[in-house]
C-alpha cells in the first residue's frame, strides 16, 4: 500500500467530445492541505468532478487508499470517504439548515447526533439557524453550510471547489479558519482556487494546472518565493 | 341554488384532492428522474380496474382498495427497472416515446380483457342530510370518505418528504442530483422507492374514483394532460402547489358546470391554470419554495 491517500495517474477526462484533462497526475498524503491553482478554464473543476466520479475519466486511474475508484458510482465514492464542496455552493434552496445536514449518508460507524455536535462546534452560526431555509442565509453562511454538509459524511478527504470565490472578505476569513479547523481534525483537504494569495493561507503544498495537465508542483513557501512562476501560470495574461 | 353551489364545491374538493394525489406522483418522478412519465395515468387506470376485479371476484370494494395500491406499487417497480432506469440517461424523447407506448399497451390490454364500456362500481354507503349556510340537501357519505382518505394520503406524503431522511434526500436530489449523489445518496435506489410509492398512490386514487366516475380503458389517458398541467402549474416537486392547482381546476370545472355545459367548463378550467402559469412562470410554488 502506498503512502498516498489519493493518487491520480495519467487521467484523461472528456466533456462530450472535448478532451479536458490530458494526462493529469497528482498525489495527496494523509492529513495535508493541498491547493490546485490555475486560471479559469484550465481544468480545476473537472479534476474535482473526476475524483468524485461525476465526470468519470476515460483513461487513467484514481486510487483512493490503494483502490481504483475511477468510474465507480458517485454515491459509492462518497461512502468510501471522499466528500465535496461544489463550486458555486449548490445549496438545496427549499431545504432548511437542519434538513441539509440530514441529506448526507452518515457512515454506520458514527452516530448522526455526534456528527451534528462536531459540525456545530466548528460552525456555531449554523446551530443558531437550524430551522431557517438555506436560501435565506448570506453567501458566507451558505458556504459554511455546504462545508458542514460535506463534513456530515465524516470524510477522510474533503474536496473544495473555489470555496472562497464570490465571498466578502470577512466571509473569506471565516472559510479559511474553517478549512484550517477541518485539517486540524485530521481530514485531508484538497481545494481548487484561482487566487494564489488566499490558497497559500491554507495549503502546505500546491499544484498548478494548465490545459488539463499539472505544470508545477511545490511547497507553499517555494511558490511564494517564485513570483515568476506565479506570473507565468496565474498572473494576468498579456 | 345555494345547495347546488355547495354540492358543486364539495364535488370539486373531492375530485381536486384525487387529481392532486395523482399529480404529485407525476411531479416527483419528473423532478427526480427527469423523465416525463406518460404512463402515469395508466397506473391510475390499473388501480380502478384492479379494484373492480377484486370487487367482482370476492364482492368487497374495500379489499379492492387495499389490493389496488399494492399491485400498482409492484407494477411501478417493474416500470422503473424495465423502462425508466435503462432509458433515463438517453435523449429525453426516448423514455417519453417508450412510456407513451406503455400507456397504449396498458389501455389496449384492459380493453381486450374487460371491453371498452365503462364499469361502474356501486357507491358504498348512502346519503347524509347536510345543512350548511342555510341550505338543506343530501350528499353521498362516500364523497366525504374520499375526501378523508385523500387528505390522509396527502398528509402521509407531506410527512414522508418533510420528516423522513429518505424523503428529504429525495427532495435534495430533485433540486440538485449531482450534489445529492456526492453526499452519498443512492439516487437510483430512492428512485425505485419513489416509483413504488407514487404508483401505489395512483392506484389508490384510481380505485377511489371507481364509484364516482366508473372505470374505463381511456380513463388514464384522459387524465394525463390534466395531470401535466397540474404538476407544472403547481411547481415541480411541490405537494402544496399540486393541491392548490388540483383543487382549483376541479373547483372551476364543477362550479362553472352549473352555468355552462361540461365542455365549456373544461375550457374555463384550463384557462384559469394558463392564467396562473402566465403570472407565475415557475408554478404556484416555484422550486425554491417546494412544499412550503
Q: How far apart are CA A45 and CA A91, in angstroms?
A: 17
CB contact under 8 A, B178 and A86: yes
pLDDT of B288 strictly over 70: no
Considering only the beta carbons, identify the residue of A74, A94, A100 that sits closest to B182. A74
The tens digit of pLDDT for each residue in B216-230 reads 999 988 889 888 888
Cell of B81: 427497472
Span B93-100, average pLDDT: 91
Give residue A236's pLDDT band: very low, low, confident or very high (50, 70, 90).
low
Please name the residue of chain A whose CA is at the shortest distance from the CA of residue B176: A92
pLDDT of B281 strictly over 80: no
Span B72-88, average pLDDT: 92
pLDDT of residue B34: 84
Question: What average pLDDT does chain A have?
Answer: 92
The tens digit of pLDDT for each residue in B7-16 reads 889 999 999 9
The four Cα atoms A20, A22, A23, A28 give a dihedral, to 10 degrees, of -40
Task: For residue B239, give how far its alpha carbon lies from the nearest alpha carbon of chain A (Å).
Answer: 13
Which residue intervals of A52-105 are DSSP H helices? 74-79, 97-102
pLDDT of A11 strictly over 80: yes
pLDDT of residue B45: 95
Interface of B with A (CB under 8 A): 165, 168-169, 171-172, 175-176, 178-187, 237, 287-292
In chain B, where are the structural domains located?
2-279
Residues of A in contact with B158 (CB under 8 A): none
Residue B133 CB-density burial (10 A; 0-12 exposed, 13-18 middle, 19+ buried): exposed
Residues of A in contact with B184 (CB under 8 A): 75, 78-79, 83, 104-105, 153
pLDDT of B153 strictly over 90: yes
The tens digit of pLDDT for each residue in A21-35 reads 999 999 999 999 999
Task: For residue B164, give how far its alpha carbon lies from the nearest alpha carbon of chain A (Å).
Answer: 9
Whether B204 contacts B66, CB under 8 Å: no
Q: How far apart are CA A141 and CA A163, in angstroms?
A: 12
pLDDT of B1 strictly over 70: yes
Span B86-99, average pLDDT: 88
The tens digit of pLDDT for each residue in A98-133 reads 999 999 998 788 888 899 999 999 999 999 999 999
Three-state SS letters, A143-196:
HHHHHHHHHCCCCCEEEEECCCCCCCHHHHHHHHHHHHHHHHCCCEEEEEECCH
Residues of A in contact with B165 (CB under 8 A): 102
Considering only the beta carbons, identify the residue of A54, A94, A105 that sits closest to B183. A105
The tens digit of pLDDT for each residue in A48-104 reads 999 999 999 999 999 999 999 999 999 999 999 999 999 988 999 889 999 999 999
The tens digit of pLDDT for each residue in B21-77 reads 999 999 899 888 888 899 999 999 999 999 999 999 998 999 999 999 999 999 999
Give residue B286's pLDDT band: very low, low, confident or very high (50, 70, 90).
low
For B2-279, CATH number out of 3.30.1560, 1.10.3470, 1.10.287, 1.20.120 equals 1.10.3470
Q: What percent of chain B has pLDDT over 70?
A: 96
pLDDT of B292 strictly over 50: no
Which residue, among B192, B161, B179, B171, has the nearest Cα to A153 in the 3D structure?
B179
Residue B53 exposure: Cα atoms within 13 Å on the Cβ side: 14
Q: What is the DSSP letter of A237?
A: P
Q: How far apart are CA B163 and CA B185, in angstroms?
A: 17
pLDDT of residue A56: 94
pTM attached to this predicted model: 0.87
Which residue, among A153, A91, A155, A144, has the nearest Cα to A121 in the 3D structure?
A144
pLDDT of residue B276: 80
Residue of higher predicted confidence among A152 and B132: A152
pLDDT of residue A237: 59
pLDDT of B86 strictly over 60: yes
Residues of B in contact with A154 (CB under 8 A): none
pLDDT of A143 strictly over 70: yes
Cell of A147: 462545508
Please state, as a whole number, how many other Cβ atoms lie within 10 Å of the Cβ of residue B74.
14
CA B214 to chain centre: 16
Considering only the beta carbons, identify the residue of A93, A99, A104 that sits closest to B183. A104
Q: How far apart are CA A42 and CA A212, in angstroms?
A: 6
Task: For residue B31, give how far its alpha carbon lies from the nearest alpha carbon of chain A (Å).
Answer: 14
Give residue B283's pLDDT band: very low, low, confident or very high (50, 70, 90).
low
pLDDT of residue B102: 93
Give residue A203's pLDDT band: very low, low, confident or very high (50, 70, 90).
very high
> A-B interface: how many C-beta pairs under 8 angstroms?
77
CB contact under 8 A, A95 and B171: yes
pLDDT of residue B30: 87
Q: Cell 492541505, residue?
A: A33
CB contact under 8 A, A105 and B184: yes
At A232, phi and psi to the nearest 5?
-65, -45
Residues of B in contact with A83 (CB under 8 A): 182-184
Q: Which residue of A48, A87, A103, A113 is the best one to mutate when testing the B interface, meaning the one whose CB has the most B CBs within 10 A? A: A103
Please name the residue of chain B whose CA is at the shortest distance from the CA of residue A95: B172
Helix (H) or strand (E) holding A25: strand A18-28
Q: How far apart are CA A235 and CA A36, in angstroms?
A: 15
Amino acid at each position: 500500500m502506498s503512502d498516498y491517500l489519493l493518487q491520480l495517474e495519467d487521467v484523461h477526462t472528456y466533456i462530450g467530445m472535448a478532451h479536458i484533462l490530458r494526462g493529469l497526475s497528482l498525489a495527496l498524503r494523509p492529513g495535508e492541505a493541498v491547493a490546485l491553482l490555475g486560471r479559469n478554464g484550465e481544468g480545476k473543476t473537472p479534476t474535482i468532478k473526476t475524483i468524485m466520479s461525476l465526470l468519470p475519466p476515460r483513461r487513467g486511474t484514481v486510487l483512493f487508499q490503494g483502490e481504483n475508484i475511477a468510474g465507480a458510482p458517485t454515491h459509492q465514492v462518497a461512502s468510501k470517504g471522499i466528500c465535496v464542496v461544489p463550486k458555486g455552493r449548490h445549496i438545496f434552496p427549499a431545504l432548511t439548515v437542519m434538513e441539509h445536514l440530514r441529506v448526507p449518508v452518515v457512515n454506520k460507524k458514527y452516530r448522526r447526533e455526534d456528527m451534528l455536535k462536531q459540525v456545530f462546534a466548528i460552525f456555531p452560526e449554523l446551530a443558531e439557524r437550524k430551522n431557517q431555509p438555506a436560501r435565506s442565509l448570506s453567501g458566507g453562511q451558505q458556504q459554511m453550510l455546504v462545508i458542514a454538509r460535506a463534513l456530515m459524511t465524516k470524510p477522510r478527504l474533503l474536496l473544495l471547489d473555489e470555496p472562497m470565490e464570490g465571498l466578502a472578505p470577512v466571509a473569506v476569513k471565516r472559510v479559511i479558519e474553517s478549512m484550517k479547523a477541518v485539517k486540524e481534525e485530521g481530514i485531508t483537504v484538497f481545494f481548487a482556487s484561482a487566487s494564489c494569495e488566499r490558497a497559500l493561507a491554507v495549503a502546505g503544498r500546491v499544484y498548478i494546472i494548465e490545459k488539463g495537465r499539472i505544470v508545477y508542483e511545490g511547497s507553499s513557501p517555494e511558490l511564494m518565493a517564485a513570483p515568476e512562476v506565479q506570473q507565468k501560470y496565474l498572473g494576468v495574461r498579456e | 341554488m345555494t345547495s347546488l353551489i355547495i354540492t358543486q364545491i364539495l364535488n370539486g374538493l373531492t375530485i381536486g384532492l384525487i387529481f392532486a394525489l395523482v399529480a404529485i406522483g407525476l411531479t416527483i418522478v419528473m423532478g427526480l428522474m427527469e423523465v416525463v412519465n406518460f404512463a402515469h395515468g395508466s397506473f391510475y387506470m390499473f388501480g380502478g380496474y384492479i379494484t373492480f376485479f377484486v370487487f367482482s371476484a370476492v364482492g368487497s370494494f374495500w379489499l379492492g382498495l387495499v389490493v389496488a395500491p399494492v399491485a400498482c406499487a409492484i407494477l411501478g417497480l417493474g416500470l422503473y427497472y424495465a423502462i425508466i432506469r435503462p432509458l433515463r440517461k438517453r435523449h429525453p424523447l426516448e423514455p417519453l416515446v417508450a412510456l407513451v407506448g406503455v400507456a397504449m399497451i396498458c389501455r389496449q390490454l384492459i380493453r381486450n380483457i374487460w371491453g371498452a364500456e365503462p364499469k361502474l362500481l356501486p357507491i358504498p354507503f348512502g346519503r347524509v342530510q347536510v345543512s350548511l349556510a342555510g341550505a338543506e340537501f343530501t350528499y353521498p357519505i362516500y364523497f366525504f370518505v374520499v375526501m378523508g382518505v385523500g387528505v390522509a394520503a396527502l398528509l402521509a406524503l407531506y410527512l414522508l418528504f418533510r420528516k423522513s431522511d429518505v424523503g428529504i434526500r429525495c427532495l435534495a436530489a430533485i433540486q440538485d442530483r449531482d450534489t445529492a449523489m456526492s453526499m452519498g445518496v443512492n439516487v437510483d435506489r430512492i428512485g425505485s422507492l419513489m416509483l413504488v410509492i407514487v404508483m401505489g398512490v395512483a392506484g389508490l386514487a384510481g380505485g377511489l374514483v371507481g364509484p364516482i366516475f366508473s372505470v374505463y380503458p381511456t380513463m388514464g389517458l384522459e387524465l394525463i394532460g390534466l395531470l401535466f398541467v397540474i404538476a407544472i402549474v403547481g411547481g415541480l416537486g411541490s405537494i402544496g402547489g399540486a393541491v392548490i392547482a388540483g383543487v382549483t381546476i376541479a373547483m372551476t370545472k364543477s362550479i362553472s358546470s352549473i352555468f355552462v355545459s361540461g365542455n365549456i367548463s373544461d375550457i374555463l378550467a384550463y384557462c384559469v391554470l394558463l392564467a396562473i402559469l402566465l403570472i407565475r412562470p415557475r408554478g404556484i410554488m416555484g422550486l425554491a419554495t417546494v412544499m412550503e
